[in-house]
Structure 1
Amino acid sequence: MSARLKRNAVVVTMALLVCAAAALNWKFTGEQAAEGVKEQNAAEETGTKILGEAALVSGKEDDGEGADEEAVYTGSDYFASARLTRQQARDNAISLLQEAAGQEGAAENVANEASEGIQVLASYTMKEAQIENLVTAKGYADCVAFMGEDSVSVVVSTKSGELTGEDVAKITDITMTETGYPASGIRIMAAN
């Protein structure tokens, strides 16, 4: 029973670390974006260019006339930002787990628990991607899922900006099928 308790403690600790990393990343990403906008505005006013400045473009063609300049990602896209924050938090957690497992003299049970934790996070990542793909395949503009130990949150962008009962039922069905979680563990929200 002691091994199970230790494993659960490691999983809870990992979840707390992931949440803390996500919160810190969210905070610092917002501050950096605000500073970047100030620097860009100052550079535009003086007509200078910033060395190393880069922009991510959508790559979509606008009726064959070239890339849409308005589709440059500037950090205001909620879904891209949420996915990036989620991935960075997971990468940090996996890095910590790999360090714990790879330390010299680490007990075998610590290495096994770290390996299990990495597998859990990888499973979450795969299930979240599957949910996101299936929801967008149903005709929704965009979707991001956040999976935890016993719950999952799904944020969806709809054309109207609101979710109907039918929308919630579709998304709940997809999420229940992919995760095995009951409907009570699924939270669905419309992006504003």
Structure 2
Amino acid sequence: MSRKLRKNTMLLTMLLLIGAAVFLNWKYTAQSGEEAVNGKILGEATLVSGEGDTSAAADEETVYTGSDYFASARLTRQQARDSAIDLLEKAASENGADTSVLNEASESIQVLASYALTESQIENLVTAKGYRDCVAFMSDDSVSVVVATDSGELTAEDVAKITDITKSETGYAAGSIRIMAAD
């Protein structure tokens, strides 16, 4: 019984740490998008050749566009998920793992896969409505959607469209949906 309790405690602790890591990743990724000043993201560097090459200036503009925030957010989200799944798989593959531990790990992996699929569907549907780009972050009780518009702002009509898409894909109430504009 002590061994079973220890393994269940270990799994619960890992799940809590993974959840905290995903939340912090989401929170700080959203803040990094707010740090953009004059079209440049603070802390981001570009290699400069010093030879007056005009293609380097074009590359620098590409580095600082708003779409890089979305690619970075997706990559960071996927890396956090991959490490969470890796930890869950390691816990499940441990010699002598209890069936309840295996079941919990399997359920957690399925939930993460479901979140990834739902986020992708939201992002595709929002961009299909004519928005430049979109990234969604889903948790067990809320979803945040960051949208790039041409004006950098969201109108009430935009919020209504995005909320409708998100509600239909997640089943969450409007109060559980957070929508933000990105430049």
* TM bracket (short chain): 0.7 to 0.9
Q: Residue 131 of structure 1 aligns with which residue?
A: 122
**Residue 22 of structure 2: aligned partner:** 18
Match of 1:178 in 2: 169
Which of 54, 57, 63 matches 1:74?
63
1:100 pairs with 2:91:
yes
CA distance 1:102–1:23, change in 2 (3 Å)? farther
* Matched AA of 2:18: M
| TM-score, reference length from structure 2 | 0.74
Q: Specify the alignment match of 1:156 in structure 2.
A: 147
Task: Encode CA deviations 1:45-97: one digit per residue, 9 max, x unaligned.
Answer: 489xxxxxxxxxxxxxxxxxxxxx65986376111111111011111111111
- Residue pairs, 1:10-49, within 5 angstroms: 11-20=15-24, 37=46, 40-41=47-48, 44-45=49-50
Gaps of 5+ in 2: 1-7, 31-41, 53-57
Given the superposition, is the C-alpha separation of residues 86 and 75 from structure 1 closer, same or farther in structure 2, using an over 3 Å criterion?
Answer: farther
Identity of aligned residues (%): 58
Aligned to 2:81: 90
Structure 1, unaligned runs of 5 or more: 27-32, 48-68
Q: Identify the structure with bigger relative contact order (alpha carbons < 8 Å, sequence gap 6+).
A: 2
TM-score by length of 1: 0.70
